[in-house]
Every structure is written in structure tokens, then in C-alpha cells.
Chain A
């Protein structure tokens, strides 16, 4: 499924229509912010200011297109790869990086942002999305969820269990699978014998959508449609967004060991931002040439400003209080941990 090709030209589709011009512009703007954010975080990782950063450069359309399709009350269940999705979802960009900076495991309040902590054990948060939407329905609330995972994660048993629960309980969950072709060094063809990952939906009695994941308009349209259907009781769905991880798995990876740089170049030509910008220019979605230039420059400046803020706010060393290690293990601090806190305080006094 594709609505805009890599040259920015619209492609007709029998069941899906492209989002309206304002949405198309919004998708582009959010992708620009995402791209700059990825670059900034990558730089911070190289400088050692982040412990690690899994970049999603090249995957912005899949993340932004999926997230912008959510309604205000909906929840996001992201992975480590999905920082850009979090930013598009409205999470404070600096707090998005708390995990990777190594300050804490999750830097934001999930309830405030309707966004679960970024999940590293693969596919394990997908069933959480099923349970949360089940609970919301029980409480009479119209809440859907977008559960994100990678191509590799679909091999995990937890993925299969979540798909099945969602289908059997008919909970409004859309599983957005970003097929970026690699699970660290393992290519997709070693991961699955299915014709596509979207095909997996069939066995669970779900709908599966196979989407050009570098076409933000298509991802947005399909996820919106799948969410609306799921909300209306039509069942959950798998949306496979076909995209590509342009950067290494993380800054610690060595992709030259396992993939051909020509493959990366092939995908760079299909960059999601190139096509959305072309569409905007060719169709004059931001006005005439001069107005377009001005508006795009403003988006660029906004993205830069966000990246600058991230850099500045991460520049100083935040004082982390080691006593905080003991506070949120249980609802109240048990005696054993009170004792350990006192011992640690003694240790710290001695050094």
C-alpha cells in the first residue's frame, strides 16, 4: 500500500485516500523534527553524552505516520527504537532520552503522556497494550493503542501471544511492525518464511496491512483506518511498515560486518523526507514557491531549536541522588531497604 511514491507523486489507491493537505504538512514537519532529533541524539552518543542511542533515521515516516493517527485518549507502546515516535506523540524530547543517557529507565510519567516506557525486551510490551485497552473498555472508555515492534521481534513468542489475545478479546490494538529489514545483523529472510509480516495476521483472524513505511501519508492513512475499525469492534490489526534502518543498530554496532553499503544507498534514495518535501513543493501545499520556502525554513528552524534545546539541557551533568535507588522499588520503602540506604550513605561518607 502506497499513496505517495518516492518522487513525491501521488499514487491512486482503491480503498485509501491520502490525508488532507494540512495533515500532509504536519506529517512532514514532525518528520523533520524527528530527523533532527535522531541526528542530535546520534551526535550526543558519539560524544559519550548518551550511553547508547538506537537511531531511527530513515524510519521517521513509519513512526510519525503511526503516532499522528492516534486520538487524544489513545496510548502508545513504544520500543527503544521509537524515540521519534515519542517526540511526535508529545513527550518532552529531553525526557525521551533519559533511558539512553543512563539517568533512569524511563524519564516521563506514562500516564501523563499515555505512553508506556520504551521497551527493550523484544515484543514483551505488546500484550500490555492488549491488557490496557481491555481495562479501558471495562471502564467504559474509548481507548485504542498502538503497539510498536520491529521485524525481528515478530519472531518472539510474546508477539504471537499478544496478537492472539488481542484478536480473541477483540481489543482495539494496532500492532505497528516496522520492518526495517534487519534485526541487528540478521536479515529478514532469516527471520521469517512468511511472504510478508502482514501475512502473520491471517493466522490469528486479524487483518494485516502491508504498507510502504517510508510513505508517511500511507502509514497515517492505514493506521488511522485500522484504529477506527478496531475501535468500532472490527478487531485488532497488524500494520507492517516496510522501511529501512539507515544508521547502525546503535552507535555500538558495526554494520560493515554484515551488510552491503549499496543497500543503504538504495534506501537513502527512498528517504521519507525527500518524498514528502517534493509532494509539498509540487502540489503547493504550503502556498506559492516563496511561501513554501519560508514555511519549510521555519520548520527547519523549529527542528533545529528542538535539537539545540536537547543539546543544551543535556550538557550539564544532572546530580543523581543515589538514595533515590531505594524509593520506588515498592510502594513504601521496606525495612531491609532502609537499612541498605543507611549503609550506602555510610559508604558514600567514607569516600
Chain B
């Protein structure tokens, strides 16, 4: 059977782990079922076979212990890359993440760095039963000291994971699990833009869709549809959610004058609130309409048969774009007068 063209996001992540382990003897990978099974999503497939159980291994089933031991290892010069099996199963480790991983550098006035990568498959859209589909990014982005990143393409998945492993800050690496099977033509290894910089995924002139992770594909789909209807949407992929470098975002919105923030997480108190507030602060005089947010419903993640009602799709994005007060657009009537 001929392989599907391109590289899937899952394959890109697997290759990034492979190359990181190969390159640096201090890198090791552990967690639940990452050994012979290769992880429940096969992101660590083949690694234990190639590098042996000293570099890649299964740990006892305890997330707080996984993150706690990773912190200890990092204090003594290793660079652990640990996996949380699913978003909601990272919660037992929350104490370690918030109280130690995020703060060690600050508490020790820079003496102790924690180069730990916490890989977390996150978000829904895979028909998972409860606790398998949370968009947990805002818990992490609200915690100063953590770098929170999330790739939207296979090339970024490779490059950003390599960069995360090389980074001297703790990185919460959020993997949009429903996009593990999304493919892209790319030659690995690849290095894309530094992860701290948002990128314009698709240029446009009428409005900006600001998004990340699983919604990058959705936003691009919406932009494609909008183009067919004569509206040009720019898509910005934030990539590193925290700390946020908002330059690319504000430049884009100042150009287009309209913005919709799109994420899969529930809207209320979500990361989109931060983006919208920032755009409001920095682009107020350029805006033709209030910044709108599109996301999931403000309910616990629904069961598989109802999740499609929760998940934002291109239609929900386009409905928000339609509400960006286009009717108030002022145009030059050709006689020097500007009219609505």
C-alpha cells in the first residue's frame, strides 16, 4: 500500500522526539505507555526499540510523580520529555506544574532552570468519552513561568518540539490530538519560525482570524470559503500562547481592522479573552467592529454523540465574521465624500 503523501503531525512529533534523543544524551522520554506500546497515539512509536529503556521508558501510573521526578531530573542536568496521556489526566500533576515547574527559576533567582517538556495531547473531536477531550490551555497560560505552545501544522509540530526540548524554560507542549493525522508535504528535519513568534498562515485584507492548535485548520477552511464569497480573511496562528508576543497579531488587525479570535475551548474565561483584550488595547483606533470570540460552549465537554455541537467549525467562524459590522463600512463615493 502506498503511503499517504506528506507527513502527519503524529509522525512529525515522533521524528522530533527521535532526533532530540539522538542529538542530546541528556534527553529522555517517559510517561504512561510510551515504551513498547509507543503511546496510546503512537507518538513514541519505535523509540524504546531504537534507544533502549535507559532513554525511553514506562513509569508508574502517577502524573504528579511523573512531573515531580522530571523536575528533579532537570535540576540535575537531564532534559526530560514527559507525556501526559490525555489533557484531563494531567490534572493530578497540577500542583507540581503550578507550584514547582513554573516557579523554580523565579524562586531561586535564576539559579535553577527546569528544561522539562510536558507533552499533553489536548482538545476534542475524536469521539472520546469524558475526560479525553479537554482544552486545558488556559489553566497553563494563566501560570507565569510556563511556556505554553501548540502547533497547528506538521512542520511546526516537528520544529516547535525540537525547540521546546532545547529551551531552558519548562514548556507545556499542547498537541492538538484531532490533528495528529493531518498531513503536510514537508521534508524533515525542518525548522520553521521560532515558536515565540505568531505567523500569518494565510494573508488577507478584510478581517483577521486569530487562532492556534486544532483550530488553525478550521480557520483556514473558513478563510477559503470566505474567499469564494469575496471576503479576504487573514489567518494568524499564535503558536506560543504564553508568553505572548503579540506583534504579529496587532500588526495584522491594524491592517484589516477586524478580528475574530477562534479556539476550541469554552469561550468564558478562555485564552481568547486575553487575545481579544489585547487586540482591543492595542488596535482600538483601527477597529471597525468589536473583536469577537468563537469557541466551544460554556458547558462540560459533551459526550461523543453531542461534541459536534460544542466544537467550533468553519460555519461558526463565518457567522462571527458576518457580525463584524460590515454595513457600517464607509466608502468613498467617488466625489470626495465618505459614506456608510
Contacts and interface: CB of A to CB of B under 8 A. Distances in A.
Interface of A: 51-52, 80, 99-105, 120-122, 152-153, 155-158, 183-186, 190-192, 252, 254, 257-258, 320, 322, 325-326, 329, 336-337, 340, 344, 347-348, 350-351
A336 B37 contact: no
A235 to B, nearest CB: 25
B102 to A, nearest CB: 19
B301 to A, nearest CB: 9
A184 B32 contact: yes
A325 B61 contact: no
Interface string B30-72: 0011011110100000000000000000111111110000000
Contacts of B130: 99, 105, 120
Contact of B299 (A325, A347, A350): A325
B32 A186 contact: yes
B33 A102 contact: no
Interface of B: 32-33, 35-38, 40, 58-65, 88-89, 91-92, 127-132, 268, 297-300, 302-306, 309-310, 315-316, 319
B302 A186 contact: no
A121 B319 contact: no
Contact of A340 (B33, B59, B298, B305): B298
Contacts of A252: 40
Contacts of A104: 303
Contacts of A337: 298-299
Contact of B37 (A121, A258, A347): A258
A51 B37 CA distance: 21
A99 B299 contact: no
For B40, B127, B132, the residue with the greatest tally of chain A CB atoms inside 10 Å of its CB is B40
A190 B62 CA distance: 12
A232 B78 CA distance: 52
A336 B268 CA distance: 9
A155 B89 contact: no
Nearest to B64: A157
A153 B61 contact: yes
A102 B303 contact: yes
Contacts of A258: 35-37
A153 B132 CA distance: 17
Nearest to A122: B61
B36 A102 contact: no
